[in-house]
């Protein structure tokens, strides 16, 4: 079968085009002859005052934010305590039965929560929140001054993300989410494969990858779902002649196992196959190997809070999955979300700096959490080569949802696997693919630290885990 790749390899297409320039301030418009536009003054984060105390008192129970105000980029101000809640019917009357003291009280600690679900949604980075303060609101396709300001911000974000990926601006396509980026890569590339070329992925990949492959299979495409080992590491022997496209994760989203992506790229290119790397999980901690033809990114896993992006190597053609205008180089129709583009470009730039130092801190913290999980009877999951912030285990006689609710009440935000499926009562397809029993797959727990996680929080989390999990009901 003839090669489907255009030479040469590499995330960056070599040539005379200079590397991407540094990101200009959001909304900056380069002057052109006859341009008399001057950007307006600072409008503030929320578009104006939220009102005085009496106004807030009169609107109790209403939304905390005025209609039309800007997005709450960083979430609730951590310095502001939550508003007290009044439960109807309990203001008067007989006293309610005494309830058990919360874990915080038993441990003698302040009721501060510990966020250990970075893999589910990384907290919005301060740099992202700052970058979003003055994002223009115009349509980038419009010719007026506001439209040009939006176009300038979008172009700067594209250049910034391209620089972080060692790519060119034409190789960057912004999407609404990581899931959309994955689907655009797999479906868009598969529709251009020769008739009998197969699509290959593996049983422990993210749901979006598996679902896209099944969609192709239902449409008549040849699809192979390869096996994984007990650590969720893919079996590269599944890469054989006749495969036209492979989709492999940078790291497993549920247990953190780092995949042999570089070797997969080499093997795939030897048989002329395209390679899609699902890099939604992992870029905060490890580099993306060069040579992939398609790379998908997820904003909320990078600390951007929103958006997605797809790297498409120069020379690779994909079919758009949304039809309409010519936006995003004809790969994705629809008005561009400038704020999301600025957010993900800023986040990726932050992620690529000081990776080694952050990874070292995360590895130390996760080792302590893993030790606690093992002491409490958990079976540790994930390979020796895993993302440094992951601490995962399964408990054969406990249910994941029981543990999550108990930990949540105790002050820990955790996960029982992929955020896209943690609300489901179905067993983890990743753990089943790893060969674990049904009981073990139903009792998974994932703790993932993030950039803001402190050693003191890890110490507190270990105490809460011990206090909570020993009391979580077991199931026969």
**DSSP string across 398-420:** S-HHHHHHHHHHHTEE-BSS-TT
Q: Please list, residue by residue across 338-361, b when 16 or more beta carbons sit within 10 angstroms of its beta carbon and e when fewer do.
A: bbbbbbbbbbbbbbbeeeeebbeb
Q: Kindly state the tokens that stand for 407.
A: 């930990």
- Mapping DSSP onto H, E and C, the string for 228-258 reads ECCCCCECHHHCCCCEEEEEEECECCCCCEE
Give dist(CA 319, CA 221) in Å, integer: 15
Could you tell me the strand order of the sheet in which 444-448 lies?
Answer: 379-380, 390-394, 444-448
- Separation of CA 165 from chain center: 16
Q: Kindly state the tokens that stand for 318.
A: 């994909």
Give dist(CA 342, CA 125) in Å, integer: 12
User: What is the DSSP-derived secondary structure letter of residue 48?
Assistant: S
Give dist(CA 335, CA 326) in Å, integer: 10
Strands 172-175 and 308-312: antiparallel
Query: What's the full length of the chain, in residues?
Result: 476
Give dist(CA 147, CA 35) in Å, integer: 13
- State the pLDDT at residue 473: 66
CB hemisphere CA count around 281 (13 angstroms): 31
- Mapping DSSP onto H, E and C, the string for 355-370 reads HHHHHHHHHHHHHHHH
Q: Is 109 exposed, middle or buried (0-12, 13-18, 19+ CB in 10 A)?
A: middle
Spans of the chain below 50 pLDDT: 1-10, 12-110, 418-419, 422
Domains of the chain: 126-351 (3.40.640.10), 355-469 (3.90.1150.10)
Q: Is 323 exposed, middle or buried (0-12, 13-18, 19+ CB in 10 A)?
A: exposed
Give dist(CA 73, CA 236) in Å, integer: 41
- State the pLDDT at residue 347: 98
Give dist(CA 161, CA 424) in Å, integer: 34
- State the pLDDT at residue 423: 53
Give dist(CA 56, CA 254) in Å, integer: 43
Three-state DSSP at 271 gives coil
Concerning whether 280 is annotated as a catalytic residue, the answer is: no
Give dist(CA 472, CA 402) in Å, integer: 7
- State the pLDDT at residue 163: 97
Give the bridge partners for 249, in sequence order: 278
Angle, CA of 124, 129 and 131, to the nearest 5°: 130
- From the candidates 271, 413, 420, 467, give the one annotated as an active-site residue: 420
Q: Please list, residue by residue across 53-74, b when 16 or more beta carbons sit within 10 angstroms of its beta carbon and e when fewer do.
A: eeeeeeeeeeeeeeeeebeebb
In 3D space, the residue among 251, 181, 245, 240 whose CA is nearest the CA of residue 213 turns out to be 245
Identify the H or E element spanning 390. strand 390-394
| Dihedral of alpha carbons 134, 139, 145, 150, sign | positive
* Whole-structure pTM value: 0.77
- State the pLDDT at residue 111: 58
Phi-psi region of 293 (alpha: psi -120 to 50; beta: other; left: phi over 0): alpha
* Cβ contact 274:293 at 8 Å: yes
- State the pLDDT at residue 68: 38
């Amino acid at each position: 079968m003839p090669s489907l790749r255009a030479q040469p390899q590499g995330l960056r297409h070599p040539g005379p085009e200079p590397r991407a320039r540094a990101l200009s301030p959001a909304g900056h418009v380069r002057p052109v002859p006859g341009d008399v536009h001057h950007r307006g003054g600072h409008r503030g984060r929320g578009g104006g005052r939220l009102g005085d105390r009496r106004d807030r008192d009169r609107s109790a129970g209403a939304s905390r934010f005025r209609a039309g105000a800007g997005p709450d980029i960083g979430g609730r101000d951590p310095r502001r305590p939550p508003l007290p809640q009044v439960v109807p019917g309990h203001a008067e009357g007989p006293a309610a039965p005494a309830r058990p003291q919360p874990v915080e009280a038993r441990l003698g600690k302040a009721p501060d929560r510990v966020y250990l679900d970075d893999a589910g949604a990384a907290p919005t980075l301060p740099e992202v929140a700052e970058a979003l303060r003055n994002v223009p609101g115009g349509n980038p396709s419009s010719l007026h001054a506001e439209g040009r300001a939006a176009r300038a911000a979008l172009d700067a974000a594209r250049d910034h993300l391209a620089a972080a990926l060692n790519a060119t601006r034409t190789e960057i396509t912004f999407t609404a989410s990581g899931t959309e980026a994955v689907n655009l890569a797999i479906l868009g590339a598969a529709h251009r494969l020769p008739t009998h070329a197969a699509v290959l992925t593996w049983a422990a990949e993210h749901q979006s990858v598996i679902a896209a492959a099944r969609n192709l299979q239902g449409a008549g495409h040849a699809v192979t779902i390869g096996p994984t080992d007990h650590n969720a590491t893919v079996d590269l022997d599944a890469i054989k002649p006749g495969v036209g496209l492979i989709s492999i994760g940078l790291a497993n989203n549920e247990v953190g196992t780092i995949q042999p992506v570089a070797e997969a790229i080499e093997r795939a290119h030897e048989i002329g196959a395209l390679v899609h790397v699902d890099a939604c999980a992992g870029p905060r901690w490890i580099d993306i190997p060069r040579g992939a033809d398609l790379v998908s990114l997820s904003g909320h896993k990078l600390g951007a809070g929103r958006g997605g992006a797809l790297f498409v190597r120069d020379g690779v053609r994909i079919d758009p999955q949304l039809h309409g205008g010519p936006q995003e180089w004809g790969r994705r129709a629809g008005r561009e979300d400038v704020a999301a583009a600025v957010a993900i470009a800023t986040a990726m730039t932050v992620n690529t700096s000081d990776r080694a130092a952050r990874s070292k801190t995360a590895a130390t913290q996760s080792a302590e959490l893993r030790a606690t999980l093992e002491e409490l009877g958990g079976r540790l999951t994930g390979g020796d080569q895993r993302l440094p912030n992951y601490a995962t285990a399964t408990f054969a006689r406990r249910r994941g949802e029981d543990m999550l609710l108990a930990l949540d009440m105790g002050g820990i935000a955790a996960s029982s696997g992929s955020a896209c499926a943690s609300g489901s009562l179905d067993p983890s397809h990743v753990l089943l693919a790893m060969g674990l029993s049904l009981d073990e797959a139903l009792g998974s727990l994932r703790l993932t630290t993030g950039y803001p996680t402190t050693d003191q929080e890890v110490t507190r989390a270990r105490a809460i885990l011990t206090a909570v999990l020993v009391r979580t009901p077991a199931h026969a």
